Every structure is written in C-alpha cells, then in structure tokens.
Structure 1
C-alpha cells in the first residue's frame, strides 16, 4: 500500500530524528567524560574567577557596548538624513561612508583609530583616552549598518503625517525631529537591538587598544584566566556570561517584532 504524502513526510522526519539521535549517542560514548568535565567545567577554577569577572569583565563589556552604540546611533541618524537629502553631494558622502565601513573589519577600524590617527595627527588625543577610542572605534562601524536601518525606518513613516505637519506650519527640521524620527526609531528598534548584540561581541576586539588589567572585557579577561589557571574552564564561564547578555536581548527582539507585526 502506497504511503500518502503526509505519511512520507512523517517517516522522513522520523528517520532524520533517528539519525540525529544515533550521532549524539556515538559522540557521547566517544567522549572521555572525566577529562572533559575537568577541563571545561572545573567548578573550583570557575568560583575563583568571581566576583572579578563580573566587576571587571562584564561591566567593561557592557560599558564598551553602550559607548559604541551611543556614538554609533548619533552618527547613524546624521548619515541616514544625509542619505535622504535632496543634495546630491550629501547622499554621495553618506553612501561612500556606509559602503566603506561596512566593508572594513571592525578590528581594522580599531587599529586605524588607535594607531593610525595619532600618527597622522601628532599630539591628537581622544577625549576619555581608551574609552574615547572604544566609542569611536566601535561606533563608526556600527553607524554604517544602523544608518541604512534608520533610513528604511524613516521611509516607512507614512508621508501623510509629514504633509499634515507641514500644513500645520512646522518647518522641515521640526517635522523630522518631532514627527518622523520618533516613529522611525520605534519601527527600527528590533534591528537596532540586533546591532547591540553584534556590538557586545565586537567589544571583544578592544584588546587591540592595549588595555590595562582593570579595562579587560570578558574575552580578554578569559584569556588572562586561561593562562593563570592553565585550564579552559574560564572559556565556559565567559561563554555563559555572554549568553547572559545576548539571550535576553534576542528574546526582546522577538517580542518587539511580534508586537510590531500585531500593530501593523
């Protein structure tokens, strides 16, 4: 008796699950569990990392992320408005910036910011020293991505609202600030939250700036702990802390996307 299409799908899905289960069982049997647990989940080493890993690594990671996002979103708003400008030169400059910094690795940008600019402009120093370098280094790259997101958000605002504001006598600048941008920002909150997640991970590149011990972010702190304890358990601790930051943000993105879909 021939199987129906639904039955074939169920059978094929069951075979896939069975193959996956067999692979998991084989891998589990091949692992040397005592050695694995001692290397990756040594609780004695993990406890020795606290509370410094929180007070230094986690706090600095959050600080660097906030600095990069703040600088990036401010610059992204300017770039988005330039992309929508009626002046061709503004559009060309903004487009060139976006294409350039979306094509460059964040690590290369940080190197240019930290070592290239001081050599090009002798005596130049960033306000806040390392924190200033972090804000600019992470922010200029993030701005290139957020600018396109903001541009799409601005264009998604109904033109009728802009026309109504202009009819009431609002200037173009006031219309943009009070009517368009607030709505655009609400629209683009989910993708901007994704950008924050990317910045959290990009903050691991700050080590290239030659940070001191009290400026270590999570990844650099973990590398130092690996050398100190001669164990990879610190990587497990660092991974858990990164997930502690990114998983709630991912949940927030999904919730905001669902809410926005319902509103639409």
Structure 2
C-alpha cells in the first residue's frame, strides 16, 4: 500500500521531484552504457573530417550565413515598419498590410523562398539580381517583414496615448507624431522580440539550400550537406550545428538580458 497519500503536499512534491531526477539519471546512464561509442565517434565526431572543413566553414559558410541574415533582417525590418504603420493607419493601406502579413505568415518560409527563386523568374520572365542569393534574401526579407510587422505594430500600440496627445498639442501632424514620437518609443519596446526574430531568421537561413548556391555562396546548412555527401560522414552536420550554437546562444542570452533591463516592472 502506497504511503504517498498520507504525506504532506510539500513532502510529496519533493519525493516526486527526486523520483523524476532518478529516472532521468538512470536513462542517461543506460544510454551511455549501451551506446556504441567508437562508431558514434567515427560517424559524428571524426576529427579528420572536421579538419577538412576548416577554415572554410568559418570563412565561407558562417560568413555567408551572417551576411544573408543581416541583409534580410535590415531589409525586412524596413518593410516591417512600413507594414506596421499602414496597418495601424487604417483605410485601404491597412487592408493591404493585413493581407500581406497574413499571407506570408500563413505559408511556409520554404515555399516563399521557392517562389522567389523559381516562380517569379518563370512568371515574369526575369531573374532577380544576385541569382540564387538575391532570391534567397528576397524570400527571407518577405518572411521577416511579415512577422516583424506584427511585433512593431504591438510596440506602436503599446505607446501610451498621452504621448500622441502631447505631440498633437504641440501642433505636430499625424505623420510627424508617428515617425518622431511614436516609432522611437515603439522601437525601444520591441528590441527584445526583434532580437529574438533575428535569432529565428538566422536559423531560417538554413532553408536557402533550396535556391541553389555557388561554391563560395554556401551558407552553413548547404555547406554541411555537401560535405556530408562528399565524406559520407555526419560530422559536417554537427560542425554546422556547433557553428549555429556559437552565434545563437549569446543572442538568446542577450534577449533575456534585454527583457530584464527593459522590463518597466523592475
């Protein structure tokens, strides 16, 4: 007969927590004991394969990943500001912004990239500047603009109404109020979620493999996938994962720090 029902709630919680820890430890120990570590080491952590990827994984793949991410983020942020302003302004422009945002938020990013790289050239008879890279940046810009527009729109609506009334009392028009009073305050509010959006965009850049890349245009995932095909070894994938973590973990920490620093309740 179980004695748990007769224990105090705090004691039951403590017993349950220790039991979950014990199960987790036993699971980890079982995995460690049963795993074929020589095979794992050869297939996933092969030093010779990793050495062949150096330094191209940094000088080409990581550099391109950051370049594409920054370019798409800057262009997407500009687009997002325009869409957010149109959405809160009302009228026909608001409907255009709503349709644009909902459309590109509603379809997979992979489909957007595919359309930019292949559908647009076929449908309109011209290729985008930059070839596959240009198409990839355009696709990521559209996706970022749609998602970031909702973030900025929320930031605009979070600005206290008194700020608008004060600006109007000084004789400022609607446009001046928006761009010189509301947007600066909104951008301060949305810094943490926009930083998080940058992290998401960095990982979404892995979808650029679909647009086709030249040897010196490859981002991390395309670089690792091609190295996997050449070496028949999974070490390149783990090298790419490590490269992503080197960038995303500090950014994730920065997001948490910014949220604490900008929290008005603190």
TM norm structure 2: 0.94
What is residue 99 of structure 2 aligned with on the other side? 96
Q: Could you tell me how far 1:146 is from its partner in structure 2? A: 0.7
**For 1:14-44, what per-residue CA distance to the aligned partner results, in whole angstroms no more than 9, with x for missing partners?**
1111111111111111101111112111122
Task: Measure, in 2, the Cα distance between the counterparts of 1:175 and 1:131.
Answer: 38
Give the alignment partner of residue 125 of structure 1, picking from 124, 127, 138: 127
* Residues 67 and 134 in structure 1, CA contact (< 8 A), matched pair in contact too: no
User: 1:58 is matched with which residue?
Assistant: 62
Tell me by how many angstroms 1:201 deviates. 1.1
Secondary structure in structure 2 of the residue aligned to 1:215: coil
Q: RMSD between aligned alpha carbons?
A: 1.5
Indicate the larger mover: 127-136 or 251-260.
127-136
Q: Structure 1 residue aligned with 2:217, among 215, 228, 233?
A: 215
Gaps of 5+ in 2: none
Alpha-carbon distance in 1 for matches of 2:133, 2:39? 41
Matches of 1:240 and 1:232 in 2, distance apart? 13
Aligned match for 2:241, one of 234, 239, 242: 239
Q: CA deviation at 1:262?
A: 4.5
**TM-score with structure 1 setting the length:** 0.95
CA–CA distance in 1 between the matches of 2:119 and 2:254? Answer: 38
Task: Kindly indicate whether the alpha-carbon contact (under 8 Å) linking 1:218 and 1:238 is maintained by their aligned counterparts in 2.
Answer: yes
Partner of 1:177: 179
Find the counterpart in structure 2 of residue 168 from structure 1. 170
Matches of 1:160 and 1:107 in 2, distance apart?
42
The C-alpha deviation readout for 1:172-210, integer Å capped at 9, x for no partner, is 212211111111111011111111111111111112212
Unmatched 5+ stretches in structure 1? none
For residue 128 of structure 1, report the CA deviation from its aligned partner: 3.6
Equivalent pair of 1:65/1:203 in contact (CA under 8 Å): yes
Count, aligned residues: 262
C-alpha distance in 1 between matches for 2:107 and 2:68: 20
In the alignment, does 2:119 pair up with 1:116?
Answer: yes
1:259 is aligned to 261
- Offset of 1:111 from its aligned partner? 1.1
| SS of corresponding position for 2:19 | helix
| Alpha-carbon distance in structure 1 between the residues aligned to 2:49 and 2:122 | 42
Partner of residue 197, structure 1 = 199
Which runs of structure 1 show a deviation greater than 6 angstroms over 4 or more consecutive aligned residues?
none
Match of 1:78 in 2: 82
Structure 2: distance between partners of 1:34 and 1:86: 64
User: How far apart are the structure 1 equivalents of 2:168 and 2:265?
Assistant: 26
Paired residues of 2:133 and 2:213 also in contact (CA < 8 A): no
